Amino acid sequence: MDKINSQEALLAAYAACKGSLALRCIDKHDINSPKKEILCCGGTGCHASNSKELMDNLRKAIKEHGLDNDVKVIQTGCFGFCAQGPIVKVMPDNVFYVQVTPEDAAEIVEKHIVGKQLVERLLFVEPMLKERIHDYAKMSFYAKQERIALRNCGLLDPENISEYIANEGYQALAKCLFQMKPAEVVQEVLNSGICGRGGAGFPTGMKWKIAAGVQADEKYIVCNADEGDPGAFMDRSIMEGDPNSIIEAMAIGAYAIGAQHGLVYIRAEYPLAVSRLQIAIDEARKCGLLGDHIMGTDFSFDISIKLGAGAFVCGEETALIHSMEGLRGEPTTKPPFPANIGGGYWGCSTNVNNVETYASIPVIIRKGAAWYSKIGNWQPELDENGNFKRTISGNAGTKVFALAGQINNVGLVEVPMGTTLREIIYEIGGGISGGHEFKAVQTGGPSGGCITKENLDTPIDYGNLSKIGSMMGSGGMIVLSDKDCMPAMAKFYLGFTKDESCGKCTPCRIGTRRMLEMLEKICDGNGDEKMLDDLERLAKTIADTALCGLGQTAPNPILSTLRYFKDEYIAHVRDKKCPAGTCRKLFTLTITDGCIGCTKCKRNCPVGAITGELKQKHVIDQTKCIKCGACIDGCPKKAIVKD
User: What is the pLDDT, as a whole number, of residue 414?
Assistant: 95
Let me know: does 540 contact 558? Beta carbons within 8 Å. Answer: no
What is the pLDDT averaged over residues 455-459?
A: 89
User: What is the pLDDT, as a whole number, of residue 19?
Assistant: 87
Query: How many Å apart are CA 563 and CA 541, to the nearest integer?
Result: 16
User: What is the pLDDT, as a whole number, of residue 629?
Assistant: 87
pLDDT in tens, 583-615: 988 988 999 999 999 999 999 999 999 999 999
User: What is the pLDDT, as a whole number, of residue 386?
Assistant: 65
Let me know: does 279 contact 285? Beta carbons within 8 Å. Answer: no
Nearest CA-CA partner of 477 in 506, 452, 441, 507: 441
Q: What percent of the chain has pLDDT over 70?
A: 97
pLDDT in tens, 122-168: 999 987 677 888 887 788 899 889 999 999 999 999 999 999 999 99
CA distances 511 to 444, 507, 529, 533, 573, Å, are 21, 5, 20, 15, 21
Let me know: does 454 contact 150? Beta carbons within 8 Å. Answer: no
> Within a 10 A sphere around the Cβ of 458, how many other Cβ atoms?
17
User: What is the pLDDT, as a whole number, of residue 196?
Assistant: 87
Amino acid at site 152: N
User: What is the pLDDT, as a whole number, of residue 380?
Assistant: 60
Q: Largest alpha-carbon pair distance within the chain? A: 86
What is the pLDDT averaged over residues 527-545?
A: 94
What are residue 452's DSSP bridge partners? Answer: 440
User: What is the pLDDT, as a whole number, of residue 383?
Assistant: 67
Query: How many Å apart are CA 452 and CA 430, to the nearest integer?
Result: 18
| 427 three-class SS | helix
User: What is the pLDDT, as a whole number, of residue 391?
Assistant: 41
CA distances 474 to 143, 188, 196, 308, Å, are 23, 24, 9, 18
Helices 243-257 and 171-179, packing angle to 10 deg: 10
pLDDT surpasses 90 at 59: yes
H or E element at residue 531: helix 529-545
What is the pLDDT averaged over residues 419-447?
A: 89
CA 576 to mean position of chain CA atoms: 37
Parallel, antiparallel, or unpaired for β 219-225 and 261-267? Answer: parallel
pLDDT in tens, 280-321: 999 999 999 999 999 999 999 999 999 998 888 888 899 999
What b/e string do you get for 193-225 counting C-beta neighbours within 10 Å, with b at 16 or more? bbbbbbbbbebbbbbbbbbbebebebbbbbbbb
User: What is the pLDDT, as a whole number, of residue 467?
Assistant: 82
* Per-residue confidence band for 411, with pLDDT thresholds at 50, 70 and 90: very high
pLDDT surpasses 70 at 526: yes
Nearest CA-CA partner of 62 in 98, 92, 97, 106: 106
Average pLDDT of every residue of the chain: 91
H or E element at residue 564: helix 556-564
User: What is the pLDDT, as a whole number, of residue 390?
Assistant: 47
- Measured in degrees and rounded to the nearest 5, phi and psi for residue 337 equal -80, 160
* Per-residue confidence band for 394, with pLDDT thresholds at 50, 70 and 90: low
User: What is the pLDDT, as a whole number, of residue 574?
Assistant: 93
CA 189 to mean position of chain CA atoms: 23
What b/e string do you get for 282-295 counting C-beta neighbours within 10 Å, with b at 16 or more? ebbbebbbbeeebb
Query: How many Å apart are CA 89 and CA 94, to the nearest integer?
Result: 7
User: What is the pLDDT, as a whole number, of residue 364?
Assistant: 97
**CB within 8 A of 496, min separation 6: which ones?**
230, 312, 446
What is the pLDDT averaged over residues 198-223?
A: 91
pLDDT surpasses 50 at 393: no
For the chain, list the domains and their CATH numbers: 30-134 (3.40.30.10), 161-373 (3.40.50.11540), 398-484 (3.10.20.600), 487-573 (1.20.1440.230), 588-642 (3.30.70.20)
User: What is the pLDDT, as a whole number, of residue 381?
Assistant: 63
Nearest CA-CA partner of 360 in 514, 220, 536, 172: 172
pLDDT in tens, 74-133: 999 999 999 898 999 999 999 999 999 999 999 999 999 999 999 999 999 987 677 888
User: What is the pLDDT, as a whole number, of residue 379?
Assistant: 62
User: What is the pLDDT, as a whole number, of residue 471?
Assistant: 78
Query: How many Å apart are CA 314 and CA 501, to the nearest integer?
Result: 10
For the chain, the first-to-last Cα distance in angstroms comes to 69
* Per-residue confidence band for 388, with pLDDT thresholds at 50, 70 and 90: low
| 337 three-class SS | coil
What is the pLDDT averaged over residues 499-527?
A: 93
Query: How many Å apart are CA 642 and CA 308, to the nearest integer?
Result: 44
pLDDT surpasses 70 at 483: yes
DSSP state of 102: G
Q: What share of the chain is helix, strand, coil (3-state, %, to 5)?
A: 45, 15, 40
Q: Which regions of 253-336 does DSSP assign to beta strands (E)? A: 261-267, 302-308
Query: How many Å apart are CA 107 and CA 121, to the nearest integer?
Result: 11
* Per-residue confidence band for 392, with pLDDT thresholds at 50, 70 and 90: very low
pLDDT surpasses 90 at 34: no
What is the pLDDT averaged over residues 182-205?
A: 90
